[in-house]
Amino acid sequence: MQLGTRLLLVGALLPALLLGAALVVGGVALDRILHASVDQALLSQAAVEAVSLFDRAGAPHLHLIDSPLDSSVREFAPRGALYDPRGRIIARYPEGADVPAALDPAALELQPTLSTAVVDGVPHRVVGMRVLATDGSAHGLWLAASLENHDAAVRAYWQVTGGAVLVVMLALVTIQTVHARRLHRRITALGDHMERLRAGDYGHAPPPDPARDVLGGLRDAIAITTTKLAAAREAQDRLLADAAHELRTPLTAMRAGIDVALRRPRGVDELERVLAGLREEVDRLAALASRLLDVAALRAAPLDRVPGDVAKLVADAVESALGLAEERGVVLEVVGAARASAEFAPSVLRQAIDNLVDNAIKFSPAGGRVTLGVEVSPGCVRVRVADRGLGVPAEQRERIFEPFERRDRAARGKGLGLAIVREVAERHGGRVWVEPGPGGGAVFVLELPDAAGVDR
């Protein structure tokens, strides 16, 4: 069953049926209530008449006849008749009313008996009972109340209430039909878009949906996800293309060296030089493959974060880099907080800090200084790595974190170190950026949520 049909059944037809059932139940209940009201009025009148039939010295009489309100109540008062022991009419109300010509009191009960009969072509509720006189003789009392007003009230109920319910049902079906079709279109559009995503088509956003409800929010979330998937696909394609390009360069160099070596007989010294060059290119390929595996592992593996001290991790990274810094003639300096608590994956975060330190040493001039600062701010911990190099142009400050992007295209390297730093930062719920140094050079800032920020 289609969604639109299900929505129509549940949202319109089922409520309409329940409304119709409530209408029928209400009609039956009204009919019974009105019947009970007529019966109670008849029984009350019969009780009054039975008590006072013989309260006069003369012949038995009906008090309805003597009522001073006779002219006011005659239109809706019950008609009645009184019968003597032989079943003959003694009195009737109103005068000339159509009542049974004879009624044997012996056929009646001492308790009133209710029934329905047609009198003058109109349904009436009838009560009959036997009333004993003071001398023990039996008389018959017959009273009948018209059901014409009752039937008119029930008809009015069915006409007015039934018409109103019918209008409400039609309006409900119409509104729900429009609503169901609109919901069906919106959900179908999202479903079609998800099918395109499953097929690998990330180039189209889901159809616009101006409604500010749950579906509208879902559409916006899917649109954002589609954009991220498209960016991820583009980054993946770019990574593959860049990786192929980076791999092609050392492979081409290796092939050229081998071709030159094979072109004519070579001496041992020449072959050793060729093999040394090949070994260098192989090392370059191995390092590149290792970095590519690092990027893939970071994106695929879950992070096992534990509480720790970021400041100590920075100090360890500086100690490990002292040899490289001394070789390059660069001074390393640590400033800032002595302790900075956060939750992080130690080996992964250490790799990111090592990359920043190595990058800063590589681009610092001989005799330069690399400063590592640890800052603790509300909700976050920042690691700042500042060098005294040439800095990063403003137009490259975002692109430099892409895979295979380098601060200096002439420099030899894999171009993956800063991409790994950004991946580590984002996997920890943080971020990384670069800004110009106060005295020249570049300052790379790695920001992580602190221990309290992780809990929030």
- Same domain assignment for residues 309 and 451: yes
Residue 262, domain CATH: 1.10.287.130
Residue 402, domain CATH: 3.30.565.10
Mean pLDDT of 187-207: 85
Whole-angstrom Cα distance, residue 450 to residue 454?
Answer: 6
Residue 126 vs residues 106, 112, 424: alpha-carbon distances, Å: 17, 10, 94
- Same domain assignment for residues 269 and 328: no
Judge whether 436 lies within some domain: yes
- Same domain assignment for residues 354 and 231: no
- pLDDT given for residue 454 in this prediction: 47
302's CB contacts (< 8 A; 6+ apart) are none
Last residue of a domain, one of 264, 298, 332: 298
Q: pLDDT band at residue 68, thresholds of 50, 70 and 90?
A: low
**345-366 per-position pLDDT tens digit:** 888 899 889 989 998 998 888 8
Helix/strand/coil (H, E, C) string of 195-206? HHHHCCCCCCCC
Instruction: Please count the other Cβ atoms lying within 10 Å of the Cβ belonging to residue 278.
Output: 17
- pLDDT given for residue 200 in this prediction: 82
Q: Which residue has the higher pLDDT, 268 or 361?
A: 361
Judge whether 411 lies within some domain: yes
**240-262 per-position pLDDT tens digit:** 666 665 666 677 777 777 777 77
Given a contact cutoff of 8 angstroms between Cβ atoms, the answer to whether 429 and 448 are in contact is yes
Q: Which residue has the higher pLDDT, 177 or 143?
A: 143
Judge whether 166 lies within some domain: no
Instruction: Please count the other Cβ atoms lying within 10 Å of the Cβ belonging to residue 253.
Output: 15
Whole-angstrom Cα distance, residue 89 to residue 76?
Answer: 22
**329-340 per-position pLDDT tens digit:** 999 999 988 888
- Same domain assignment for residues 360 and 408: yes
- Same domain assignment for residues 135 and 38: yes
pLDDT at 48 over 70: yes
- Same domain assignment for residues 236 and 368: no
Q: How far is CA 451 from the centre of its chain?
A: 31
- pLDDT given for residue 391 in this prediction: 85
Mean pLDDT of 174-179: 81
pLDDT at 126 over 90: yes
Q: Which residue has the higher pLDDT, 196 or 256?
A: 196
119-128, 170-179, 358-367, 401-410: least confidently modelled range? 401-410
Share of the chain above pLDDT 90, in %: 18
**369-421 per-position pLDDT tens digit:** 999 999 998 889 999 999 988 888 888 888 888 876 655 544 444 567 788 88
Judge whether 21 lies within some domain: yes
8-17, 179-188, 196-205, 302-311: least confidently modelled range? 8-17
Last residue of a domain, one of 257, 280, 298: 298
Phi and psi angles of residue 370, each rounded to the nearest 5 degrees, phi first: -115, 125
Task: Give the DSSP letter string of 214-228.
Answer: HHHHHHHHHHHHHHH
Judge whether 248 lies within some domain: yes
Mean pLDDT of 37-42: 89
Judge whether 138 lies within some domain: yes
- pLDDT given for residue 218 in this prediction: 86
- pLDDT given for residue 447 in this prediction: 94
- Which domain does 292 fall in, by range? 214-298
- Same domain assignment for residues 273 and 381: no
Q: How far is CA 31 from the centre of its chain?
A: 46
Last residue of a domain, one of 153, 170, 204: 153
Which of 115, 23, 119 lies closest to 79 in space, CA to CA? 119
Q: Which residues of 128-147 are buried (b: 16+ CB within 10 A; e: fewer)?
A: bbbbeeeeeebbbbbbbbbb
Q: Which residue has the higher pLDDT, 451 or 425?
A: 425
Mean pLDDT of 264-293: 75
Q: Structure tokens of 52?
A: 């006072």
Which of 246, 253, 254, 205 lies closest to 229 in space, CA to CA? 205
Given a contact cutoff of 8 angstroms between Cβ atoms, the answer to whether 325 and 331 are in contact is yes
At position 406, the amino acid (one-letter code) is: R
Mean pLDDT of 163-175: 85
**282-322 per-position pLDDT tens digit:** 877 776 677 666 666 656 566 788 899 999 999 999 999 99
56-60, 129-133, 341-345: least confidently modelled range? 56-60
- pLDDT given for residue 455 in this prediction: 43
- Same domain assignment for residues 290 and 326: no
Given a contact cutoff of 8 angstroms between Cβ atoms, the answer to whether 11 and 180 are in contact is yes
Mean pLDDT of 324-329: 90
| Mean pLDDT (the chain, rounded) | 82
Mean pLDDT of 169-184: 81
Q: What is the pTM (predicted TM-score) of this model?
A: 0.48
- Same domain assignment for residues 293 and 435: no
Q: Which helix (H) or strand (E) holds 387?
A: none
Please give the tally of structural domains in the chain.
3
Mean pLDDT of 212-219: 83
- Same domain assignment for residues 359 and 435: yes
